[in-house]
Structure 1
């Protein structure tokens, strides 16, 4: 449902981090000051937030943090977002919002985290806030259906086959996914494929193994060129450039 971890943007130049697309929503809370979010190519950015909630998105954001590079990062699957935040993932699809606007009860969370002196203390503060969120919001009706739908979309790269696995029409499947996530089934599968490639790239780099072609094949891309095109479209850079930015390139 949720994954909580500390982060440090220090490895990136000038505290800039590339926020890549994924199948999860995220909450980013800097330890100090605020976070600036820019969407390259989108008008009206950057925007500044004390703490930010990001929905599913198909392009990369740029994060710049003032006054320090550390903080707390929380990822939520779509069902977790409904249960913890009280809103469907579709309400945030394609954009970001201040945590205080999305969940007013968590408005003072950044200040409470800033008063902590260690990671265990910060974890405890966030976990208490999440438990309070669960107490405020019951699981949305249809939550089990959504989990089954996403599992079916993960099991095949064909939307029609996912509908067959679920025993419903393609129109029914598309309507459920759009209403819950704010993206189409094909777009969700695109995020799944990108996310899988990202994990395999990190694993290959950590093991000192080369081979973008192998990553492409294992992740469901037609070939290495297809992988590179998707990364340029969704991350704004090539896989090799991203690994270099993250300090993972050999």
Structure 2
């Protein structure tokens, strides 16, 4: 994984992660559960993949590469004929600065990469011609740098960053609004316009994402205590955590760790 601090300085505010992935081998090879998060994700597989919202088979589509906006339900990705690819996540501000598409326009949707970002439509083919991960990483960074030069950082980015930081740092929407010096209604309208979700939904994503990180860290140390993960992530208790995880991920935390945790495969 390539964290933001290892990216060129101009891209670091907009790219959360850039990594190669391998869905592994075995009975579940080629299958991945795309979990909710606070970022816009881009998956560029070696082979086309099928993607659908979990439990909604009618939503299934076959795509060459996938852009997914903020969403509060899990997706199922199936990749046949190859299990590897490139995965990157963008901050909500990064959607506009690098894709030329506001995060709100992508919320709750997954779309073909070439349709969402016509100017970068050749990137999957370029990656397919690369023989090593460093070559692929360089190709992605160059494409993103060119995109940033085309679109430029949104003048509203500082306001958006402050808004998201306030929501992430407080447990209640009214607390975030008070910190920002605005009304709850004003904050709600701004978040909906920028992200396509409500402030409360964004806070749910923040909490869920924190819990995912805590789960992975705990699994790597060999000791997973759900009550500890729940407390560290801002949930009222373990029951609240498990209920929310099942709602948003479509499985229990333990089931997800068993299938896709660090001991199972690379995300």
Q: TM-score by structure 1 length? A: 0.96
Q: Tell me which residue corresponds to 1:112.
A: 126
Deviation at 1:174, TM superposition (A): 0.5
Correspondence 1:160 to 2:174: yes
In 2: Cα distance, 1:97 partner to 1:74 partner = 15
8 A Cα contact 2:216 2:261, kept in partner:
no
Q: Tell me which residue corresponds to 1:74.
A: 88
Larger displacement relative to structure 2 (137-146 or 195-204): 137-146
8 A Cα contact 2:54 2:75, kept in partner:
yes
Correspondence 1:38 to 2:41: no
Q: Tell me which residue corresponds to 1:123.
A: 137
In 1: Cα distance, 2:53 partner to 2:218 partner = 29
Number of matched pairs: 249
Q: Tell me which residue corresponds to 2:159.
A: 145
Deviation at 1:246, TM superposition (A): 1.6
Deviation at 1:249, TM superposition (A): 6.6
Deviation at 1:41, TM superposition (A): 3.0
Deviation at 1:15, TM superposition (A): 1.2
Q: Tell me which residue corresponds to 2:42.
A: 27
8 A Cα contact 1:11 1:246, kept in partner:
no
Deviation at 1:138, TM superposition (A): 2.0
Q: Tell me which residue corresponds to 2:5.
A: none
Correspondence 1:199 to 2:218: no
Q: Which runs of 5+ in 1 are unaligned?
A: none
1:44 aligns to what SS in structure 2? helix
Q: TM-score by structure 2 length? A: 0.90
8 A Cα contact 2:65 2:124, kept in partner:
yes
1:183 aligns to what SS in structure 2? coil
Runs of 4+ in 1 over 6 A off after TM superposition: none
8 A Cα contact 1:11 1:247, kept in partner:
no
Residue number among 238, 254, 258 corresponding to 1:224 in the alignment: 238
Correspondence 1:14 to 2:39: no
2:127 aligns to what SS in structure 1? helix
Deviation per CA, 1:3-53: give whole Å up to 9, x if none. 21000111570311000000000110012x201101123363210110110
In 1: Cα distance, 2:113 partner to 2:76 partner = 18
8 A Cα contact 1:83 1:134, kept in partner:
yes
